[in-house]
Each structure stands twice: as structure tokens, then as C-alpha cells.
A and B are shown apart, each in its own frame.
Chain A
Amino acid sequence: MTFLDFVEGPMFYAAAAIFVTAGLWRIIGILRIGKKPDLAPARGSATAGWWKGNLRHFFPRGLFAERTWMHILGGYGFHLGLFVLLFFAAPHIAFIERFTGLSWPALPRWGFIIAAEIAFAGLIVLWVRRFSDPVMRQISDWDDHIGTWLTFLVMLTGCLALQESVVALRATHMLFVNIWLIYFPFSRLMHAFTVFLSRGATGASYGRKGMNP
């Protein structure tokens, strides 16, 4: 068994299993916490508040927009770029098809490159803000930096293997993907899923009180 076979075979299966199992365990754990019954009479809809809480936070509030435009751009650039990279790059679709049989149209190469450029620019800006901003620096810990760097390394090794002609580069990329998958559920990278629960819970609480989240 070659190293590539290992990282695309047993190691990938193990990493994917850990990712799914631990991720579900965390999400189910959060959902099971529940909340204390609110005895006060409702002044608004908790469901509407849940949606409002999720949607309103996609846009910066007027007061903050001017101060935060750089990391808002960086944040959107990185997350949208990564989403496009992950699900619309031809090699990724081929990889997913290999395991699930599912396939969908891929982006042309130039589209993939532009998405990668935007994602990289966004990630660098976000990381620079993390250590430059005094408040961000105070609330950041190793988990944030490890998560950022692992994501960066996964993206970087993926782009270095872009030509798909060197087995060692593909294997390196897959190795980092596996490490990332294993680390993901135990870190703040889980915000990819929990963000909607968190925003929704806050929104629902505010909505029930008849307030804007």
C-alpha cells in the first residue's frame, strides 16, 4: 500500500468517521441542552426571531459597517471562496463521486482559480486581523490559530497539487485534509454548523420578547 493509498483509503475513512460521529455528537449534545421554560407571556414569535437572528447577522449594522468593512469583505471572501472550492472544483467533485456516486457540474478552471484567490486573500486578512486587533488578540487562543493554519495548509497543499501530476503533492493534500477532518469537530471550526444554532437561539430568545435580535 502506497502512502497515497493509505491517506485516501484507511486514514480517510477513519477521519471521515471521526468527523461525522464527533460532529453529530456535538450538535446533538447542544440540541439536548434545551432551555428553561420561559414563564413570561410571549410578545412575539420565537420562530420569526430564529430566522431574523440568522439572517440579520449576514449584514453589518450601520454603525459598525465603516469600521469593519475590511474583515467583512475578508470573511465573505474566505467563506464563499472556500465553499465554491470545496463543492465546485472538478477534482473535489470527482473525489466525492468516487465514494458516493454523486456528481454535479464543476466550475471551469478559471472559476476555480478565482475562487481560490478570493478564499486565500480572505483567510489571510482574517488571520492578520486576529493578531492585529487588540480585542481579537485577547479573545483568540491556540484553537483559533490552529484552526486557521490547518485550513490554510489544506487550501495551500490543494493548490500546490493543482496540476494533478505529482502523487506526493496529492498525498500531502489528503494528509492535511484528514488531519483537518479529525480536528474539526473538537474545535471552533464547528462554527460552520453551530453558527446557525447559536444565532437562531439568540434570535428566538429576542423574538419571543418582541425585540430585534
Chain B
Amino acid sequence: MRHILSLLAICLIVATSDPASAQDPGMQTRESIMERQRGLGLSGDYTLPSGQPPAPETVQPGSVPQLGTRGYASDSDIWRALRDGSANATPSSSTAASQLMQVIGDDWRMIRHDYLIKYAGWVLLGVILLIALFYLIRGRIMIRGGRAGNTIPRFSMSHRIAHWFLASTFILMALSGLIILLGRPVLVKGLGEWLMVGQLGMDASVVTTLKSVNGVLNNAALQGHNLFGPVFILSLLIVIIRFMKGNFFQKADFGWILKGGGLIGGHASSNHYNFGEKTWYWVVVLVGLMISVTGLFLLFPWLSDNLRFHQAATILHAVGALGMICFAMGHAYVGSVGMEGSLDSMLRGEVDVNWAKEHHDLWYEEVTGEKVTHDHDEIPETAKGTA
């Protein structure tokens, strides 16, 4: 600090002094500074304007020499020391004690910009295309024997409320999160700069407008995301508890995997939940808890004073959320347009008997005590889905 103040004092005096005094042979010139930095003329041949020689520069043993009034051969050592934290310089914040520069921020920024933001949108688009492709090839999975007309209860009211409660908050969180993460690259870079200006030749002012729109959307999305976060955690905990029974992996799940869930190798038996549903449940539990915990650290940064942890939290939060959105899209597809009769279970709490026999035969046998025969395993032409 003393050296910096000395330097400032010199600058102030030089700036306010009479220009004629610059000709004083004792004053330093650009040439003399360059000379010293080249290692020449270090014996000290200048004085302060007051006529006093500059204070001697002291360097602590083992420490990196600080920038003094005379400069040194190279400042890169100082900058390197500041970057790796050995300079013993500290900002007032406690988040990076004894370290003035947080170099890992460069890596964090690179991962976020060059990988996460760059590819996140493509991953989501890819999953949507995959689902569409699956629908075009496989069509809607129909109940092979057709609807029986009789139903059996599958989910209680509390199950359904818990499910839709989580689904609602998840949609709100996903939309607001995607705006925060991808708003600028999609709206400004993609839509504005690339499409509207680059391809359609529109005026560049449209980009400025889109930047403003993005600013408003981001401001709103951030408020919404922060507000709904705790509600999402509450709904997640309710779902974890309410759906835990029956979601532990069982012997029948191995058979289900081998038969690709019935896509290859004929009928795949399953209990109340099949392997896919159980996997989805545990993804919700593990990834959901992970994004909840990392989200809480982002919402309440004072929970930890380790900056690296916060940087990791932002990456994990975004990656986990993206993964969950991808899974959720597949789940929503199979649970609605992808499979006949499956939406009934969450809308009405009851499913058609034939649907239960086909998709959850072991559960059906357990509930009714009735043995299931798979007479309809061969898909009749009339029950085949159409793309």
C-alpha cells in the first residue's frame, strides 16, 4: 500500500507540476523508465521533484517483489503470483481469502459458454427430434386387445395431486431456467443476428430490440425461478415420499430390460412400475435433489464462502436440469400421446383392465389375484398404431 501511495503521489505531483520542470535532469522520462526495465541504470539516478531520493524498495524474503516506484524487469511474475494466489494479496471479500484473482473463473466461463450454452439447445432439440422420429416409426402404442371398458384403480388422489404439483412447478422452473440459460443465444444471437439480420437482411436495430426483450424476459424469469424454486423442492419431496413404495428395482426388471420394454423380444412383465418408470423415479430423486441443493446454494450464496463451490453449483445445476428436462419430455410423451390409456392413470386414477394386463401384468395379478394370459401379444392389425 505504501508503494502504491508513493506512486500515486508521484503521478499527482508530475501531473500538477510546471511542464518546464519536466526538463529537470532528476525527473524520470520514458527513456529512463525503459532503461530501468531493461535492467540498465538501476543504480538510481533520479530524485523526486522535492529533491529527495525515492524510498528504498524492500522485498520480503520468499515473497514476490511488488511493483515499486522504479518498476521491475517484468510484471508478469507479479501477475502470475496474483493468479495462483501466492502474492498474498486479498480483496475485502471473504470468498477468496488471500487470493486476488480467481483463475478458475476462466475455466468456469469457458465450460459455461463454450460447452453448456453452446450445446444445451441442440441437446434439447435432438431429444425432441428423437421423440418425433420414434413416433413416426412406432406410432402410438395401442392397447393390443383394445379397451376392455372396465377399469381398476392405479393412483390415489394424493398420488395424482403430488404428481401434478411437481409437474406444474417443474414446467415453470424449466421454462424460466431455459430463458435464463439460453435466452440471449437463442433470441439475440440466433433469432436476431443470424436469422433476422444475417439471413433476412433486416435492419440491425432489430437486434437492439431483441436485447431489450431478452433483458425483460431474463429479469422476469430470474424472479420467477427464484420464487418457484422452494415450491419445486417442496413438491419434489412430496413426490419422493409418496412414490417411493414400489419403485425399488425388482427381479422382473431384468427381464424387462432384456426385452427392451416389449419393443424387442415380446411381452415384458412388470410390477406396479416398470424399469423405465423406476429409472425415471430415481432420476427425479437423485437429479432433483442435486439441482435443489445446488439451486439453494445459488439462491442463498452465504451458505458457502467457497467460490469454486458456487461455480461448480451453477454448472451442475444447469447440466442436471437439462438432463431432467430431456427425461421429462420422454416421460410426458409416453404418458400421453405415445401410449393409449396411460394418461388415464394420472388424470382419473384408474386404468383400463387390458392396459394393466399388458403393461403391468404382475401388478394386476397381485391386485386382482387373477392370472394374466397374454393372448394379445401378437399385435392385431386393427390395434396397430398409425404414425
Chain A interface residues toward B at CB < 8 A: 70-71, 113, 116-117, 120-121, 124-125, 127-129, 131-134, 156, 159-163, 165-166, 168-169
Contacts and interface: CB of A to CB of B under 8 A. Distances in A.
A161 B215 CA distance: 13
A128 B215 CA distance: 32
Contacts of A169: 216, 219-220
Interface stretch (B17-25, B81-89, B164-172, B313-321): B164-172
Contacts of B349: 132, 134
Contacts of A70: 157-158, 161
Contacts of A129: 157, 161
B216 A117 contact: no
Contact of A159 (B165, B223, B230): B223
Contacts of A125: 161, 165
Given A70-B157, A132-B161, A116 B223 contact: no
7 contacts: A121-B165, A121-B235, A132-B346, A134-B348, A161-B220, A163-B222, A169-B219
Contact of A128 (B168, B219, B221): B168
A14 B234 CA distance: 40
A113 B231 CA distance: 11
Contacts of B228: 120
Given A117-B227, A168-B216, A128 B169 contact: no
Given A131-B347, A132-B347, A161 B216 contact: no
In the A-B complex, the 9 residue pairs with the closest CB atoms = A160-B220, A128-B164, A132-B160, A162-B223, A124-B168, A159-B227, A121-B231, A166-B219, A128-B161
B68 interface: no
A115 to B, nearest CB: 11
The main secondary structure of chain A at its interface with chain B is helix
B164 A132 contact: yes
Interface string B163-188: 01100110000000000000000000
B348 to A, nearest CB: 7
Contacts of A120: 227-228, 231
Contact of A160 (B168, B224, B346, B348): B224
Nearest to B158: A70
Interface of B: 157-158, 160-161, 164-165, 168-169, 215-216, 219-224, 227-228, 230-231, 234-235, 346-349
B63 to A, nearest CB: 45
Nearest to B346: A132
A165 B223 CA distance: 11
A71 B165 CA distance: 12
A187 B339 CA distance: 38
Contacts of A71: 161
Contacts of A121: 165, 231, 234-235
A159 B224 contact: yes
Contacts of A113: 227
Given A124-B168, A131-B347, A166 B220 contact: yes
A124 B167 CA distance: 10
Contacts of A134: 348-349
Q: Which of A121, A127, A133 has the most chain B CB atoms inside 10 A of its CB?
A: A121
Given A128-B165, A163-B219, 14 more contacts: A71-B161, A124-B168, A125-B165, A128-B164, A131-B347, A133-B157, A159-B223, A159-B224, A160-B219, A160-B221, A163-B223, A165-B219, A166-B216, A166-B220
Nearest to A121: B231
A127 B66 CA distance: 65
B108 to A, nearest CB: 25
B299 to A, nearest CB: 10
Nearest to A119: B231
Nearest to B168: A124
Contacts of B222: 163
Nearest to A165: B219
Nearest to B229: A117
Contact of A156 (B165, B215, B224, B234): B224
A106 B38 CA distance: 66
A113 B299 CA distance: 13
Contacts of B227: 113, 116-117, 120, 159, 162
B223 A117 contact: no
Contacts of B169: 124
